[in-house]
């Protein structure tokens, strides 16, 4: 059973909208939206061997900040629940978490500690965004440009041994500033690409009931052996860039680094040239 | 090493105020306070044998709602991160979580799922309270009455085999409505008693740099073998009542069930008659 099948079981309890977005949302009477997201990470699955506890704390916080960024929100607070296999690890983990939060304008303001067989960290973050700037996966229109920040695939390349990309795997940098700029500039939808670009493209296509035609002529691919470039770019997980759609006419309003990789079309699926790309990436499997 | 010693290590990172309260807080420009709390529970330590998955979901949510209640806040959203030893458990756990949240006016709006050797649930909740009603552990004055809701000790009695109190252990009811009423009626400080009444009394005394003189003549103790009554009442954990202080002159303004169990005095420590009670209860130990 994969994660999507399992989530489908609880759609009726939580609500379809809530299940399908990166963050939960709550609207205040003054028109601001509180977005929140929680992420559970644990040692054997999520923290590559050789990471320091500081890096583990950083990564745990960055994952949640990336979800908040993908709504166009400004992160304000992080709570960290840490299940410790060894209490001596707490200080460095929290130092990494606090350092990451503060770098992106948020603060670790609380949490819980517990002992656990295997190091387990759950970070929950919340952020604020004006309702008019709040972005979700839904919202794309036919004709919109499909755009990304950063170069997807570098975290996966690092996991496979390309040491020069290690920082993208170990201390990933959430696009918090970029997310707010994208939202303020009138994008139509956004999500992050942490499960791989291809899966995110399919989520956007399916949520909006449209197709996507890719054109990678402007895209920079990871600088790896040539036969792996496209594989990593499309299907590698663990990167913290943003995928967003935006009317072609307003692309010049956006003053950050980004790359147009395609456009929204009528139909369904995600095509590169005449072929549909595969719908695969990082999905958790439950046995 | 116990939990308090471990938390002391990270005081300099998180902030002393943030470490010592049940919830983190964030103040909005309009004078409202967003409070948030996160709790990590896992099967071997926190869920007594024989609990159903529905009850596990309920309890996980109730723990966090109780923290929010202890600030006088109205809970709005719950996020649940669930590390599953068996994916078949998810639906009933989430049904219990949603049922509990909705009963107390909140909604489970998101979360994360993961696979885990041992069932691990982290619930994070958000609530809102007007700044003038926001209660913390700090705020008591000499002369204040010390009051509780409910009868502490029944969860511990149930854990020790008093079946008639099983519901207090298995499906604990957070005093969400009562917490808001207490806050609106001008209490001076509040916290919950989930680690045992004695520990909570000591936290209040130490945080406020005062002493507490108990007078249990009005208090109802758990209906158990006589030699265990006071032990459970003072030192038993797992109950979800609230401990609060309030000026004696305004006690009649509070229209909920509560019991006066003592008063705030100058000095330090917590006395019952001429003797200090022990400072013990449920504290997590890290080896």
Per DSSP, the residues of chain B read -BHHHHHHHTHHHH-HHHHHSSSEEEE-TTSEEEEEEEEEEEHHHHS-TT--HHHHHHHHHHHHHHHHHTTTPEEEEEEEEEEESSGGGHHHHHHHHHHHHHHTT-EEEEEEEEE-SS-EEEEEEEEEEEGGG---S----TTPEEEESS-TTHHHHHHTT-GGGHHHHHS----HHHHHHHHHTT-SEEEE-TT-HHHHHHHHHHHHT-EEEE-GGGPPPPSS-HHHHHHHHHH------EEEEE-GGGGGG--S--EEEEEEESSSEEEETTEEPP--S---B--
Given this model, what pLDDT does residue B286 score?
Answer: 66
Cβ atoms within 10 Å of A267's Cβ, excluding its own = 13
| Residue B85 sits at the chain A interface (C-beta within 8 Å) | no
- Distances in Å between the alpha carbon of A198 and those of A98, A257, A265, A269? 32, 21, 16, 10
Interface of A with B in 117-156 (CB under 8 A): 117-118, 120, 122, 124, 126
| Whether A98 and B15 lie within 8 Å, measured CB to CB | no
Split at pLDDT 50, 70, 90, the class of B284 is low
Task: List CB contacts (< 8 A) between B81 and chain A.
Answer: 38-40, 122, 124
- Distances in Å between the alpha carbon of A276 and those of A145, A202, A222? 18, 11, 21
- Distances in Å between the alpha carbon of A196 and those of A80, A139, A225, A231, A234? 25, 21, 19, 10, 6
The b/e string for B125-154 (b: 16+ C-beta within 10 A; e otherwise) is: bbbbbeeebbbbbebbeeebbbbbbbbbbb
Of A125-134, A253-262, B14-23, B211-220, the range with the lowest mean pLDDT is B14-23
The b/e string for B12-29 (b: 16+ C-beta within 10 A; e otherwise) is: ebbbeebbbbbbbbbebe
pLDDT tens, B67-111?
Answer: 999 999 999 999 999 999 999 999 999 999 999 999 999 999 999
What is the pLDDT averaged over residues B25-29?
A: 88
pLDDT tens, B133-168?
Answer: 999 999 999 999 999 999 999 999 999 999 999 999
Given this model, what pLDDT does residue A81 score?
Answer: 96
How far apart CA B124 and CA B38 sit, in angstroms, is 4
Task: List CB contacts (< 8 A) between A38 and chain B.
Answer: 79-81, 110-112, 122, 124
Task: List CB contacts (< 8 A) between B63 and chain A.
Answer: none
Minimum-distance CB partner of B24 among A10, A77, A113: A77
Give the nearest chain B residue to A27 (CA atoms).
Answer: B76
How far apart CA B27 and CA A109 sit, in angstroms, is 13
Given this model, what pLDDT does residue B108 score?
Answer: 95
| Residue B34 sits at the chain A interface (C-beta within 8 Å) | yes
How close A286 comes to chain B (CA, Å)?
A: 6
Q: Render each residue's pLDDT in chain A as its tens digit; 287 residues.
A: 777 788 888 888 888 777 777 789 999 888 899 999 999 999 988 998 889 999 999 999 999 999 999 999 999 999 999 999 999 999 999 999 999 999 999 999 999 999 999 999 999 999 999 999 999 999 999 999 999 999 999 999 999 999 999 999 999 999 999 999 999 999 999 999 999 999 999 999 999 999 999 999 999 999 999 999 999 999 999 999 999 999 999 999 899 999 999 999 999 999 999 999 999 988 766 65
Given this model, what pLDDT does residue A11 score?
Answer: 86
Contact residues for A249 (Cβ-Cβ < 8 A; gap 6+):
none
How far apart CA B194 and CA B174 sit, in angstroms, is 10
Task: List CB contacts (< 8 A) between A109 and chain B.
Answer: 14-15, 18, 24-26, 36
Number of H helices, E strands in chain A: 11, 12
Given this model, what pLDDT does residue B8 score?
Answer: 85
Split at pLDDT 50, 70, 90, the class of B28 is confident
User: Choosing among A19, A114, A118, A128, which should be mutated to test the B contact, i.e. which has the most B CBs within 10 A?
Assistant: A114
Q: In this predicted complex, what is the ipTM?
A: 0.92
How far apart CA A201 and CA A263 sit, in angstroms, is 11
For chain B, what percent of residues have pLDDT higher than 70?
98
| Residue A38 sits at the chain B interface (C-beta within 8 Å) | yes
pLDDT tens, B177-205?
Answer: 999 999 999 999 999 999 999 999 999 99
Q: Is the pTM of this model over 0.90?
A: yes
Strand A120-130 relative to strand A74-84: parallel, antiparallel, unpaired? Answer: antiparallel
| Whether B124 and A79 lie within 8 Å, measured CB to CB | yes
Strand B269-272 relative to strand B211-214: parallel, antiparallel, unpaired? Answer: parallel
Given this model, what pLDDT does residue A280 score?
Answer: 93
Task: List CB contacts (< 8 A) between B1 and chain A.
Answer: 87
Given this model, what pLDDT does residue A287 score?
Answer: 58
């Amino acid at each position: 059973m994969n994660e999507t099948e399992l989530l489908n079981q609880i759609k009726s309890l939580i609500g379809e909208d809530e299940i399908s977005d990166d963050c939960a949302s709550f609207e205040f009477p003054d028109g601001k939206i509180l977005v929140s997201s929680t992420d559970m990470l644990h040692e054997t699955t999520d923290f590559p061997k050789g990471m320091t506890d500081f890096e583990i704390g950083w990564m745990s916080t960055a994952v949640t900040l990336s979800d908040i960024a993908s709504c166009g929100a400004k992160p304000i607070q992080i709570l960290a629940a840490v299940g410790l296999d060894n209490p001596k690890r707490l200080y460095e983990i929290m130092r990494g978490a606090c350092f990451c939060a503060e770098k992106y304008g948020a603060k670790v303001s609380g949490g819980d500690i517990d002992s656990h067989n295997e190091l387990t960290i759950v970070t929950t973050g919340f952020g604020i965004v004006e309702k008019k700037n709040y972005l979700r996966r839904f919202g794309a229109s036919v004709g919109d440009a499909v755009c990304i920040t950063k170069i997807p695939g570098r975290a996966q390349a690092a996991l496979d041994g390309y040491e020069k990309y290690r920082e993208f795997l170990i201390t990933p940098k959430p696009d918090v500033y970029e997310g707010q700029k994208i939202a303020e500039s009138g994008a139509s939808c956004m999500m992050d690409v942490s499960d791989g670009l291809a899966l995110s493209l399919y989520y956007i296509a399916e949520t909006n009931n449209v197709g996507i035609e890719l054109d990678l002529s402007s895209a920079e691919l990871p600088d790896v052996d040539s036969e792996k470039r496209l594989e990593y770019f499309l299907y590698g997980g663990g990167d913290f860039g943003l995928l967003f759609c935006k009317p072609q006419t307003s692309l010049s309003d956006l003053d950050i680094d980004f790359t147009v990789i395609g456009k929204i079309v009528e139909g369904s699926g995600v095509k590169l040239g005449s072929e549909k790309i595969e719908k695969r990436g990082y999905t958790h499997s439950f046995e």
